[in-house]
Amino acid sequence: MRDLVSQGGGVTTLTGPLVTTGSQRFSEAVTLAGSTGLQGTTIAFDGTVDGPRNLALTATGGPINFAAAVGGTTPLGSLVINRATSTTAAGRVVLNGTATGAYRTGLLIAAGVNNVTMTQTGNSVTGFQGNGVVLQGGSRASVFANFALAANGESGFLVQAGDTTGTVIRHNAITGNGFNGIWLSGATPSVSILGNTLTGNNNNGIVVSGPATGVLINGNTVTGSGLTGIRTEVVAGLAPSAMTISGNTVRNNQENGIILAGNSGTTVTSNVVTENRLQGITLTLGATQTTIDSNQIYKNGAFGVVVSGASTLGNSILSNSMYLNVNGGIALLDGGNRGQVRPTLTSAQIANGRLAIAGSITGQAGDVFRIQYFSSRVTDAATNAKVEGRTLIGFRDVQLTGTSASINASFSSLGVPSKGWVSATATRLTNGTPGNTSEFALGVRVTGG
């Protein structure tokens, strides 16, 4: 058979495989009465597609188009896109793993299938024994949005190694899956994970493992994960690089909020990281050149930020708000950030609308440090050892001419709580570029005012 064009006005029932050497077009509603595989140069559905069976599509020379809902009345058992120049779903896609004979995976996009667009409100992939959605080996310039990915036995959304440049996973509700919420596994470049809600996934909310580059994780809410909210992993000695983690809320996860393992050149900015059972953010296993800035990190069960291991170096921690973390703000463990020496503060006094801070820093002649000064409320810490830094007061850059230097500084006292605390961090600058940041200095009580 060359071309297939079904006539409108009724319902086409499909029970098994159908192969044509030309195009296939279904002008009326389609019902799946058996697991169905279709192959043609192009495939188009003008009406709805329903039936609790599996549908596999192969377009050998052009696009696959769904003009109406897929599984909108009776959810499909699975949907597989084996080949197409593009795939567009203009209606919602609904797949349910409890359907008769359903596959382990709900929505499978085969390796090398690019330009997939499924963004309609009401998309749903639920109850599969395996993963909800799988990109099997690269899917460039694709957008997956507005899915409910829930109660799948493995991950809600799995992206396997391949060219994923320009692919976006956005505004999905990913809940109660048996493994990870979203998992980028292997070399998965330039994926954007935007504005998703990930709740109660059994392992981690979002995982990026292996040599992924240029991944953006922005604007997501990640809560209630059985392990960590957002994490990266080293695989065969390879780790992610040039990632950005920004604008996320990472809350109430059972271990850490964010773990970066082995990453290089990652930016962590403008996130809210709170009420996680262990650390807020952990850098480990050789994570380097990380920038952690402008985050709110508070009420975590251990430290706000931990930098762990002698190969975990060059990580700057600047302009964050840290408070009420059980063990304190920043911990450098086992040589992390080369154990950068923290400043010593001796006084913080308010007079005539100015806050005068006195202290010192030690190092080697020629060292340049950015000293950031922070204030905390009276109630934020019982002792100076627990002082963190709720509010950034300002900074000064200091160059050592010997082995120590004064870090005395004066700022407006506006907003600095009377009888509160002042602390500071030191970040080493190399040709103006921030590197290793210290722990917080032991705090001093504000006097005067």
- At 11-70, the pLDDT tens digits run 999 999 999 999 999 999 999 999 999 999 999 999 999 999 999 999 999 999 999 999
Whether pLDDT at 3 is above 70: no
Among the ranges given (13-22, 128-137, 269-278), the one the predictor scored with the smallest mean pLDDT? 13-22
pLDDT at 8 over 60: no
Average pLDDT over residues 293-301: 99
Average pLDDT for 248-260: 99
CA distance 77 to 343: 62
CA-nearest of 440, 437, 429, 422 to 358 is: 422
Residue 356 confidence (pLDDT): 98
Asked which of 192-201, 384-393, 404-413 is least confident by mean pLDDT, the reply is 384-393
Q: What is the mean pLDDT of residues 245-250?
A: 99
In the block, residue with structure tokens 């994490």: 231
For position 5, what pLDDT does the model report? 62
Count of CB atoms situated within 10 Å of the CB of 44? 19
Confidence of residue 292 (pLDDT cuts 50, 70, 90): very high
- The whole-number pLDDT of residue 7 equals 59
Mean per-residue pLDDT, 143-154:
99
pLDDT for res 6: 65
pTM equals 0.97
* Residue 316 to residue 323: CA distance in whole angstroms: 18
Mean of pLDDT over the chain: 96
Which amino acid is located at 4 in the chain? L
- 8 A C-beta contact, residue 190 and residue 164: yes
Mean pLDDT of 187-193: 96
